[in-house]
């Protein structure tokens, strides 16, 4: 029995090639097409129209203080949810989360305050592997195959942080 939802299966057959997706983030920054897709997906995912793993992260911008939104896919691992940056530790949402001391909001139908806690490097490998298994759009951006050994994921773990999502106690479930 497959654990892949029909939506995730369909997203795995996205009409853009891996090269097209990599070009959209050349130099680790989104081009105009990627920014337009991100705005659209932030609305769709934030509205809760897709399965639970597809969310919109809202965090204060590190320079402006204005709320910024990022559509992301979460990885589930041992009963916890994790966010992983497909572009590595220097992408904007990671730097914003670090500047905000992990305080953020996860939106999926409703807004839930949370704290994102960075996982130590030596614990990231299985989370990174699960992330690639569940978030097909990230596959062209990480330098390992989703079927690779945990040792191969451990070799890149320093460059790809994982953040455990800890919802605020007063945030509705």
pLDDT at position 38 is 59
Indicate whether 106 pLDDT > 60. Answer: yes
- Residue 84 in any domain: the answer is yes
Chain segment 24-55, per-residue pLDDT in tens:
666 666 667 666 665 666 566 666 665 577 89
- Residue 172 in any domain: the answer is no
Domain count, the chain: 1
- Residue 33 in any domain: the answer is yes
What average pLDDT does range 110-138 have in this prediction? 95
Count of alpha carbons within 13 angstroms of residue 52, beta-carbon side:
7
pLDDT at position 121 is 98
Chain segment 129-159, per-residue pLDDT in tens:
999 999 988 888 899 999 999 999 999 999 9
- Residue 1 in any domain: the answer is no
Range of the domain at 29: 6-167
Q: How far apart are CA 15 and CA 134, in angstroms?
A: 18
pLDDT at position 11 is 46
* Strands 103-107, 80-83: pairing kind: unpaired
CATH number at residue 32: 2.30.110.10
- Residue 173 in any domain: the answer is no
pLDDT level of residue 18 (50, 70, 90 thresholds)? low
Instruction: Look over the chain and give the mean of its residue pLDDT values, rounded to a whole number.
Output: 82
- Residue 60 tokens read as 């204060």
What per-residue string of b and e applies to 97-112 under the rule 16 or more CB within 10 Å gives b?
bbebebebbbbbeeeb
pLDDT at position 39 is 61
Among candidates 90, 70, 92, which has minimal Cα distance to 137?
70
What average pLDDT does range 3-28 have in this prediction? 56
């Amino acid at each position: 029995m497959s654990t892949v939802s029909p939506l995730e299966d369909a997203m795995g057959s996205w009409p853009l090639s891996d090269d097209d997706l990599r070009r959209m983030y050349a130099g680790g920054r989104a081009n105009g097409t990627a920014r337009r897709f991100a705005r659209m997906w932030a609305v769709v995912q934030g509205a809760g129209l897709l399965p639970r793993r597809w969310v919109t992260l809202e965090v204060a911008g590190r320079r402006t203080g204005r709320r910024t939104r990022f559509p992301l896919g979460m990885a589930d691992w041992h009963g916890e949810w994790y966010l992983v940056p497909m572009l590595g530790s220097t992408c904007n949402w990671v730097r914003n989360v670090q500047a905000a001391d992990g305080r953020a909001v996860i939106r999926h139908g409703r807004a839930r305050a949370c704290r994102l806690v960075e996982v130590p490097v030596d614990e990231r490998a299985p989370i990174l592997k699960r992330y690639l298994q569940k978030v097909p759009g990230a596959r062209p951006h990480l330098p390992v195959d989703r079927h690779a050994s945990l040792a191969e994921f451990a070799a890149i773990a320093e460059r790809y942080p994982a953040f455990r999502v800890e919802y605020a106690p007063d945030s509705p479930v």
